[in-house]
């Protein structure tokens, strides 16, 4: 389970975000004092930091710059500032991503999963949900001792769904993920891949696992 450190001075936003992330399988720690935020972050040893820019005392830019002096922990800036200059400054100070408030929660989850996946590729190679294991390094799906091999596109689809269990991922989100491959992908290609994944799952006894939410997308 990845640990996320939330640095947000508005208590309501901080609490709601922590509850939401914990429901989606993350461990959360929250900064409540802002006297030495870089020191607090390092003492928590998180896998990811969600950092606001507008903070009492040291601002988010300074915190990010201080962290980069002796830490490689990934940082996602989550802020109400929405100018290109703010995003550029954040990246120049070492942030890994930049998200503006108000944000779409599903997109936030996807960004978090992507940053963690890039920063810790070997530590999250096996993803689990309801007894089903997805091994991303071997590209196989395992259930009760039986396993099936996955194609590159099947793996991309399942990795996205496993990163946010219980959350609907839209067809557009999944197609965008598949566009990272070298193959041409359209709406029909997605349908074909989803149907093939279901057949493969059923062949090893996995039923009622991958759900279609009509007009919305897919979820596990």
Q: What is the pLDDT of residues 127-172, one digit of tens each?
A: 888 889 898 878 899 998 899 999 988 998 998 899 888 889 998 8
Closest to 47 measured CA to CA, from 84, 77, 74, 26? 74
The third-level CATH classification (topology) of the domain covering 3-119 is: Rossmann fold (3.40.50)
Contact (Cβ atoms closer than 8 angstroms) between residue 109 and residue 163 = yes
Q: Considering the domain delimited by 126-219, tell me its CATH architecture.
A: Orthogonal Bundle (1.10)
Q: What is the rounded (10 degree) CA torsion for 76, 78, 83, 85?
A: -40
C-beta pairs of 175-179 under 8 Å, 24+ apart in sequence: 178/153
Whether residue 182 is predicted with pLDDT greater than 70 in this model: the reply is no
Ranges of CATH 1.10.10.10 domains, the chain = 126-219
Q: For 131-153, give the DSSP string.
A: TEEEETTTTEEEETTEEEE--HH
Ranges of CATH 3.40.50.2300 domains, the chain = 3-119
pTM higher than the cut 0.75: no
């Amino acid at each position: 389970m990845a640990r996320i450190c939330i640095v947000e001075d508005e208590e309501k936003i901080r609490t709601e975000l922590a509850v939401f992330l914990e429901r989606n399988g993350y461990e959360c720690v929250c900064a409540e004092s802002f006297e030495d935020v870089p020191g607090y972050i390092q003492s928590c040893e998180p896998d990811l930091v969600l950092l606001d820019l507008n903070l009492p005392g040291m601002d988010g830019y300074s915190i990010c710059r201080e962290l980069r002096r002796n830490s490689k922990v990934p940082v996602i800036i989550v802020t109400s500032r929405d100018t290109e200059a703010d995003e550029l400054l954040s990246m120049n100070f070492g942030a890994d991503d930049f998200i503006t408030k108000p944000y779409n929660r599903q997109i936030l989850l996807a960004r978090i999963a992507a940053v963690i996946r890039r920063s810790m590729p070997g530590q999250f190679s096996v993803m689990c949900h309801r007894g089903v294991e997805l091994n991303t390094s071997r590209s196989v799906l395992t259930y009760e001792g039986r396993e099936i091999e996955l194609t590159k596109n099947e793996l991309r689809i399942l990795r996205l769904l496993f990163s946010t269990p219980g959350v609907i991922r839209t067809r557009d989100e999944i197609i965008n993920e598949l566009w990272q491959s070298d193959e041409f992908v359209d709406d029909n290609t997605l349908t074909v891949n989803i149907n093939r994944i279901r057949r493969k799952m059923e062949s090893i006894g996995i039923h009622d696992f991958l759900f279609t939410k009509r007009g919305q997308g897919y979820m596990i």
